[in-house]
Homo-oligomer: A and B are copies of this chain.
Amino acid sequence: MRLVTAIVRSAALDDIRAGLDRLGVLGMTVSEARGYGRQKGRTEVYRGAGYAVDYITKLRVEVLVDETRTEDVIRTVVEAARTGEVGDGKVWVTPVETVVRVRTGERDSEAI
């Protein structure tokens, strides 16, 4: 199992969701984050307040997948999130040892 994590523009969420739907991916977790990359937020749209540097608000999207589908999920998220402007985001993949579906107790491929 793998966890694909993406830090992307908020505006990309619906397209990511639509792409994952087409791929048959059945679930997703979304949360708020802020950050900066190589431009340190300077060339992006707005300035954060209360910090010594600029943090741009982004969304974190997380998708648990069977490892055989990892590259499909990466490609889908990257295509949906890309505008070509700086600040499009990062995607990374981490290993997952086991997944449990709480209601049923199912594990791993059956659990996602």
Quick check: B74 and A103 within 8 Å, CB to CB? no
In which size bucket is the chain A interface? Answer: 35 or more
In the complex this chain forms, how many copies of it are found? 3
Quick check: A90 and B101 within 8 Å, CB to CB? yes
- Report the Cα distance A69→B112, complex, angstroms: 23
Quick check: B38 and A30 within 8 Å, CB to CB? no
Interface residues of A in 87-107 (CB under 8 A from B): 87-103, 105
Query: Please, which residues of chain B bring their CB within 8 A of the CB of A7?
Result: 29
- Report the Cα distance A112→B81, complex, angstroms: 17
Query: Please, which residues of chain B bring their CB within 8 A of the CB of A13?
Result: 51
Quick check: A93 and B98 within 8 Å, CB to CB? yes
